[in-house]
Chains A and B, each alone.
Chain A
Amino acid sequence: MIISNCINQKHYYKALEELIKKVKNIVTLSAEAEAYLYSIAQEISVSKGSILIREGQTVDKIYFVTHGCLRSYCTDKNGKEHTLQFAIKNWWISDYIAIHNDEAATLTVECLKDSTVIEFNAQEINGILYQYPEYEPFQRFILERHVVSLHKRILNQLQLTATERYDLFLVQYPDIEQYTRNYHIASYLGITQESLSRIRVDIAKS
């Protein structure tokens, strides 16, 4: 569960300042727009094992990770989990399917290690686009980055071997194996746990 809200005011501003700095690298933000961003953001500390979004429930939050790691996954009809995304520092995570279609969550978002995230209400962050259109290029930038990441993931899935996908995964998430379970990674790569173990043995031998 979420253990505290805005626990450290100084830290709160620092993490959000960093995010706003990223925004300012892309767009020129008015003082009003910046104040609005501050007003709708909330930094929260989440402990390992916490569930931020639960399958089947309403979703109205999106999260920007400033520290730690979150995972989104769906559960198939047989009850097995399939990892969609790992979100480490500087990544956004939510159930965008649920938000966009205004339907119940098909994903669960869980915290894999103690993390700090900036939480936004999805409607409020969309509201900024109408009130402060100068923010829009930043929104487009993160959306495009997300699409690029997803396209790469699909293409890798289509054309790379499991070993190549695993190698790339380790480049993208170098320390992630310290706090993930094998099945988190195997289901992200679309392979069995046994295959992942074999790949690791092969890499260790080579």
Chain B
Amino acid sequence: MKALQVIHFGDIQDSLAYNEVSKPTVGPHDVLIEIKAAAINPIDKSIILGNLQSMLPIPLPSTIAYDLSGIIVEKGDQVSNFDIGDLVYARVPQEQMGTVAEYAVVLDKAVSKKPGNLSFEEAASIPLAGLTALQSLEHAGIKAKDKVLIHAGSGGVGSFAIQYAKAKGAYVYTTTSTKNVPWVKELGADRVIDYKTEDYKTIVKDADIVFDTLGKNYTLEAFQVVKQGGKVVSVVGPLDVESARMFGMAAYELPEDLAALSQAKEATYKFIFMHPNGSHLSEIKTMIEDEKIKPIIDKVYDFSESIEAFKHLATGRAKGKIVIKIS
């Protein structure tokens, strides 16, 4: 089968290539999915650049990307919750990475039937960003009337998180640039802050939850706007101690400035490491079918234009998700 692979680490144009690889074989708990569409995410860019080799080492060559939608064409003998012909979507587990390809083998627990009201392209855009947003906001215990700040409302994770938080009844602040203000408002955010003309730190006060999708100084600033005893969840900031221990970093301590700010506000800080989860995707399926969440797609590329899709991703300018139509 044809697959887009990382052949070495570095510049996108030179590091990706189409290879003919053997069709993967199913294990007892796997399903084989004929991929109809794949979506790409910022993590894929980091992988191609080789920036994640210390944390998530991959062999070369490896097929790229994690998000897919498609049709189950084969299943392992222990798979009982899916049938051949089921239309599904998934964020594949790390060890099964590789969705810009004609087929992928995926652990059944990572898979969900896809929302019936979405096309394959729309469905593929959901899993990684959706799971990241859901797991981050649920870890922070989001509930009705919470004041939530979501950074980068026009991004793949941000645009999903706004809709998810609104579906939970929260009051949502979000930041974005001037040109994105109107459509981000349409996603339901209560207060869209144009970071080019406004300082969010003077607008957001006593947030119950800050969802940090930007990192660096934004992680630290979160403690200025979070309420006493609030929660800061981050998908890009430093690891928290618990997450670091999970990675075997026994001596890891939270950076001093972050630890001091967190302590002063008695606000918790948690790095969210998104994990594939078919049950969470089923929850999302229901919310999508009930129109609480809509997919936001920047552009759909053909399989043959995949490298262009990654170049577009690398600009960081996409509004919503970048999708690759496989078949």
Residues of B within 8 A of A197 (CB): 291
Residues of A within 8 A of B87 (CB): 75, 79
Contact (Cβ within 8 A) B117 A78: no
Contact (Cβ within 8 A) A79 B123: yes
Asked if B208 lies at the interface with its beta carbon under 8 angstroms from chain A, I say no
How many A residues touch B, CB cutoff 8 Å? 18
Contact (Cβ within 8 A) A80 B85: no
Contact (Cβ within 8 A) A183 B117: yes
Asked if B254 lies at the interface with its beta carbon under 8 angstroms from chain A, I say no
Residues of A within 8 A of B119 (CB): 78-80
Residues of A within 8 A of B290 (CB): 181-182
A182 to B118, CA, bound (A): 13
A57 to B118, CA, bound (A): 23
CB closest chain-B residue, reference A110: B116
A22 to chain B, nearest CB (A): 33
Give A174-206 interface residues, CB cut-off 8 Å to B. 181-183, 186-187, 193, 197
Contact (Cβ within 8 A) B116 A54: no
A182 to B116, CA, bound (A): 11
A55-B85, A181-B290 given as contacts; is B117 within 8 A of A193 (CB)?
yes
For B113-154 the 0/1 string (1 means CB < 8 A from A) is 010111111010000000000000000000000000000000
CB closest chain-B residue, reference A57: B85
A182-B290, A193-B291 given as contacts; is B116 within 8 A of A81 (CB)?
yes
Contact (Cβ within 8 A) B120 A78: yes
A180 to chain B, nearest CB (A): 10
Asked if B199 lies at the interface with its beta carbon under 8 angstroms from chain A, I say no
Residues of A within 8 A of B69 (CB): 79
Give A67-114 interface residues, CB cut-off 8 Å to B. 73, 75, 78-81
The one of B83, B84, B85, B118 in contact with A79, judged by C-beta atoms closer than 8 angstroms, is B118
Asked if B36 lies at the interface with its beta carbon under 8 angstroms from chain A, I say yes
In the complex, 28 of the A-B residue pairs with CB atoms within 8 angstroms, ordered by the A residue number, are: A51-B83, A54-B83, A56-B84, A57-B85, A75-B87, A78-B119, A78-B120, A78-B121, A79-B36, A79-B114, A79-B118, A79-B123, A80-B117, A80-B118, A80-B119, A81-B116, A81-B117, A181-B117, A181-B289, A181-B290, A183-B116, A183-B117, A183-B289, A183-B291, A186-B117, A193-B117, A193-B291, A197-B291
Residue numbers of A with Cβ under 8 A of B are 51, 54-57, 73, 75, 78-81, 181-183, 186-187, 193, 197
Residue numbers of B with Cβ under 8 A of A are 36, 69, 83-85, 87, 114, 116-121, 123, 289-291
